[in-house]
Amino acid sequence: MAKKKGRLEFLEMKKKGEKVTWITAYDYPTALFAETAGMDMILVGDSLGMVVLGYSGTIPVTMDDCIRHCQAVRKGASNTFVMGDMPFGSYQISDELAVENAVRFFKEAEVDAVKLEGGVRVKRRIRAIADSGVLVCGHIGLTPQSSGPMGGFKAQGVTPDSARYVIEDALAVEESGAYALLLEGIPPELTAFIHKRLSIPVYSIGAGAPCDGQLIICGDMLGQFQAFTPKFVKKYANVAEVVTNAFKQYAEEVRAGVFPADEHVYHIRKGCEDEYAKMLEEYE
Ligand code: KIV
């Protein structure tokens, strides 16, 4: 089995120009598939609200939801770097609450790092969490927890003025002690600039290729999440079709009496068929 990668290995990969592969997972089987496929990192994103729990956004997701799903992922991927996503409300109120919740991820779900959204406005929170000894990754650009105030899931940094905010956020995240930064939904030119400017690893989801690695949401790339597909997603499978067809076929076979067939049932032990039949007769 390959050695589990951590912060130092990711810095080494950055130096060598080797790309980090990163995917979301929310449950044991998906985590196992990700580890078996050799994924470098797994994010237990609060996107679980939409992908798994059926919410229309991430805001209702709770700390307990995140902890429970991180625990399942940790079990399925014990040899992979797992990051817990701090849900809305878990770090906005105070530095103390942010640290308390980051520590919960560490102690109760044994994650390797946590992620939170925002730059300049969460500088103190990042510093407090990093100082407590928990690895923290920043997340800026299109930040889903702020999609309401942002007017929807909209690309950021597409004008010079808006790009300035993204750059200021990136600098703030690094200065505050984050070990890595995730850029979401910004133009690749801006990603390249930030990647060149920072010394911590910089990753992308919908921010193009010029950085240290890519994150994708498993429900999107598997063709499982149906509500909408962001422009930056490539579908590698159509799980929705495969699963729906399997369910349809099963239902048809049950209705037609084709399933279960002889090979799907347990048989009476050989040699006691007569005795068995007599026993059943006694009950008639
Ligand atoms: O929750 C999540 O999956 C995320 C990604 C969109 C980056 O935060």
C-alpha dihedral over 231, 195, 152, 63, to 10 degrees?
A: 110
Local structure of residue 47 (DSSP, 8 states): T
**In the chain, how long is the greatest CA-to-CA distance?**
87
Mean pLDDT of 147-151: 80
pLDDT, one tens digit per residue, over 255-281 is 999 999 999 999 999 999 999 999 999
For a pLDDT cut of 70, what percent of the chain falls above it? 100
pLDDT, one tens digit per residue, over 46-102 is 999 999 999 999 999 999 999 999 999 999 999 999 999 999 999 999 999 999 999
Bridge partners, 22 (sequence order):
41, 215
All structural domains of the chain, each given as residue ranges with its CATH number in brackets, are 7-237 (3.20.20.60), 242-281 (no CATH)
Helix (H/G/I), strand (E/B), else coil: 36: helix
Looking at residue 131, what is its pLDDT?
Answer: 98
Does residue 135 line the site of ligand 1, with CB under 6 A? Answer: no
Residue 186 in this model has a pLDDT that exceeds 90? yes
Atom of ligand 1 nearest to the CA of 205: 7
> Catalytic one among 9, 96, 184, 281?
184
User: Ligand 1 centre and the CA of 133: distance in Å?
Assistant: 23
Mean pLDDT of 115-144: 97
User: Ligand 1 centre and the CA of 131: distance in Å?
Assistant: 24
Mean per-residue pLDDT of the chain: 97
To the query of whether residue 184 is one of the catalytic residues in this protein, the response is: yes
Tell me if 196 sits within 8 A of 170, measured CB to CB: no
Burial letters 38-56, b for 16+ CB under 10 A, else e: ebbbbbbbbbbbbbbeebe
Looking at residue 153, what is its pLDDT?
Answer: 84
Looking at residue 148, what is its pLDDT?
Answer: 81
User: Ligand 1 centre and the CA of 14: distance in Å?
Assistant: 22
Indicate the pTM of the whole model: 0.95
Q: Whose CA is nearest to atom 1 of ligand 1?
A: 45
Mean pLDDT of 3-31: 97
Place of tokens 């770097």: 81
Does residue 46 line the site of ligand 1, with CB under 6 A? Answer: yes
Atom of ligand 1 nearest to the CA of 144: 6
Residue 1 in this model has a pLDDT that exceeds 80? no
Looking at residue 149, what is its pLDDT?
Answer: 80
Tell me if 177 sits within 8 A of 125, measured CB to CB: no
Tokens found for residue 170: 């990136």
